[in-house]
Amino acid sequence: MPAPPAPDTAPSIMPKAKADSFKLPAPGDQPKNLFVWQENMQVGDVVADRSTLSWVNMLLEWIWPKANTALSNWVHEDLTARLQDSLPGPFKGAHFSRFTLGKQTPEFGPIEVIRHSEDHVEVDLEMRYFSDVDICLDAGVISLGINQLTFVGRLCMVLQPLIGKWPMIGCTKLFFASVPQVTLRFTGLASVANYVGVEDIVQRTVDDWMRVRMVLPNRGIWLNSHFEEDSDMLDAKSLQPLGVLRVRAVRARNLAGVNVQVLDADRFTSDPYCMLRLGSEQSRSSTIIGTTDPEWPETEPSAFFTVYHRDQCLEADVLGEDQGGMFGSANLVSLLGQLPPGISVWQIMTQWPHVASGDGRRCQRITLDTKRVKRDVLHVNDPVNLGISSELDMEAQWYDIVDSPVPQPLPNGPSRGAPAATFQVEIFKGFGFPVEQVERGGRGIRWRVNVCGPSEMDDLGGSGKSTSSTSRKGTVCDVQELQFPDLPIHPRLFQVIDKLLQKPGFSSADVARICGIDGGDTVDLYVHMRDEHHQLHQELQKARQQGQHRVNVQWYEALHCFVRHPEDGNVTFSLELLNGEDRVIGVVGPFVVKKFVDEQADVKELATHRLDLKVLTEGGNDGGGLLGGWFGSSSRQVPDLHRWEAVEVQVSARLRYLKAGGTQGTAMPRSPVKGSPAKGSGSPAKGSPSTTSPHHDLPQWALPRSLSETHAV
């Protein structure tokens, strides 16, 4: 059953001409070139004909009832807890009393297939879902309903590595390169009229839930159970970055004036700042006081984002900071405008014009989306109410990741505070984890890498910490499973033998004759092995239920942190172990970053380190404050630290450097560029793309969409 027409307000990630022309080509038709990049490219990107994948949509329609149930369970188990943490006090007990996504199914297509190398294939497909749903968020006497859901996004599936035995795909990674556009239509708002902003909190929590679950660098991973035996797990499960994007808000014009001047009603101003985000990373600019035309200092540190996919999209919200005051200004509106959706890294580096400086910088003036600005509380002569467009000037620059050090920028230039290198910490396995903590749930057992040092503090306004990166939750591995020994008896006969032996008068020889087994001795051997296996199974279960039982946990993940002064001997990195409640259990390290520079090597051998337990004071990680009564405060148990005394973890690390991408600032690869693999952590990926190109006289941004093979259906 085809999807209904999209509502007028539904977001779109494709030009309307393409969105309205989903039909399969007629037999004998030649593929048409439907997608060409903008004219400012020296070589246009061409993608072949695309279809709606009608057979996939029909298959999804058939299995949708089961998928609906699975998604509902996922929401109840995961999203409910996030909502309870985010909502105000009266909603702390909120839960989904009804949750059904209706009968309408998502629609997929068109699809694009990219071959990065002989063992690395990527499948990208558009996903649209417009449906009337029946969702009720119940908090006792207060309820909030949702009767319509709109979902539009580009789903990416990475098949890597491809192996020479069945099922041929070693690992599958599933993610959205940019945040899907999810729109909810609420009902029952009259019952929450006294709780302003609840619907906004629900919408924001759903967006953040998608972001931390499936938006890069977060992803879903499905591993072939037979893949671990002879392949590089780290290379399969982790993500390799394409490079780094530097972004800075330069100036804004004609912003809404959200500060009410009590003693001067005809004067309106704002205290704007800019919140930049790419994937799950975000950065905040400084606040410019008392203006609707702010200009941020050129010497202000820029935002630096690690890029994993060129379709990742930049987000920017211009917000007004509330300075308060009894007779001064009082901020009645927070949002002043935001970037329109769909500004990808690829678009930034192909369509934004160059700055004449020749250092690869690009600038662009963008009209802000002000639909969500609350105009009814603005001054009647406010630029937004007069229909004047709010604009934001932005600057961007691309950085390659290379193996050798490069000259550093001037301390007061546009790249002030730029990291000189990226530090990659590779986490493999851990040993000796208390089983009750691993199975407790929550956010799981994770590692957080921190880079610290006085010189890093100077660049970041006294924070004392350069960057941090947190891993996904680990999964239990190396679980001992008892295997029943091989016997010359078909396993399907085991239950038959057991039932016959329970009947009086049946000897082993009789059972062997009935079942077609060679001799009663084989039946006796089966009975002996069965009883022994049952006893060992009971002993294993008893050991697992004891309080001292420990398990191994695996991550196989590479975490990236920026380092601004790797040559400084006071700059260190360390790993903090977090439990499911975000409490720091212990630390591995610190290690001096300069060691990697002195040894002139970007690789540290794989090593096993013991966890140094860190005693915490109760409430050290908890929130609170004046809003604690409204938003609630968390009460968490202090972990039993002695259960973590035996924890060890396998770690390797490498230091790689950042280089502004070419004189034209156009050097960005389509596929991840890998450095030397850590010793002992596996071999380099086979079939990585060649560094030579028949288009060597053109900048890489002007090359076709991929020098590897790209096909679309």
Q: What is the CATH number of the domain that holds 563?
A: 2.60.40.150
Q: Do 258 and 363 lie in a common domain?
A: yes
Q: Do 509 and 526 lie in a common domain?
A: yes
Which residue, 396, 469, 365, 393, is CA-closest to 243?
A: 396
Query: Given a cut of 50, is residue 28 above it in pLDDT?
Result: no
Residue 354 lies in a domain: yes
- The encoded tokens of residue 20 equal 């309205």
- pLDDT level of residue 411 (50, 70, 90 thresholds): low
Q: Over the stretch 316-342, which tens digit does the pLDDT of each residue have? A: 999 988 765 544 444 555 888 999 988
Which pLDDT score, from 0 to 100, does residue 453 have? 80
Contact 150, 129 (CB under 8 A): yes
Return the beta strands (E) in 593-669 as ranges: 604-610, 612-613, 648-660
Query: Given a cut of 70, is residue 10 above it in pLDDT?
Result: no
Q: Do 393 and 449 lie in a common domain?
A: no
Query: Given a cut of 90, is residue 51 above it in pLDDT?
Result: no
Q: Do 110 and 172 lie in a common domain?
A: yes
Q: Which residues contact 577 (CB under 8 A, 6 or more apart)?
A: 445, 446, 447, 584, 585, 586, 587, 588, 611, 644, 647, 649
Higher per-residue pLDDT: 328 or 686: 328
Q: Do 503 and 358 lie in a common domain?
A: no
Residue 412 lies in a domain: no
Q: Do 348 and 252 lie in a common domain?
A: yes
Residue 511 lies in a domain: yes
Residue 469 lies in a domain: yes
Which pLDDT score, from 0 to 100, does residue 416 have? 63
**Which domain does 516 fall in, by range?**
491-545
| Residue showing tokens 């629609």 | 107
Q: Over the stretch 211-238, which tens digit does the pLDDT of each residue have? A: 888 898 888 888 876 665 556 788 888 8
CA dihedral 575, 580, 582, 583 (to 10 degrees): -80
Contact 368, 254 (CB under 8 A): no
Q: Do 272 and 142 lie in a common domain?
A: no
Residue 79 lies in a domain: yes
| Residue showing tokens 């769909």 | 342
DSSP string, 343-356: -BHHHHHHHSPBPT
Residue 255 lies in a domain: yes
Q: What is the pTM of this model?
A: 0.74
Residue 528 lies in a domain: yes
Window from 69-78, 316-325, 405-414, 535-544 with minimum mean pLDDT? 405-414
Q: Do 278 and 145 lie in a common domain?
A: no
Q: Do 361 and 455 lie in a common domain?
A: no
Task: Give the domain-ending residue among 345, 373, 402.
Answer: 402
Q: How far is CA 564 from the centre of its chain?
A: 24
Q: Do 353 and 497 lie in a common domain?
A: no
Which pLDDT score, from 0 to 100, does residue 650 have? 93
Q: Which amino acid is at 234?
A: L
Window from 302-316, 335-349, 620-634 with minimum mean pLDDT? 620-634
Contact 389, 256 (CB under 8 A): no
Contact 607, 652 (CB under 8 A): yes
Task: Give the total number of structural domains in the chain.
Answer: 4
Q: Do 277 and 396 lie in a common domain?
A: yes
- Total residues found in the chain within this entry: 713
In 546-677, where does DSSP find H-type helix?
594-598, 628-631
Residue 175 lies in a domain: yes
Task: Give the domain-ending residue among 349, 367, 402.
Answer: 402
Q: Over the stretch 494-520, which tens digit does the pLDDT of each residue have? A: 989 999 998 888 899 999 888 888 888
Q: Do 580 and 495 lie in a common domain?
A: no
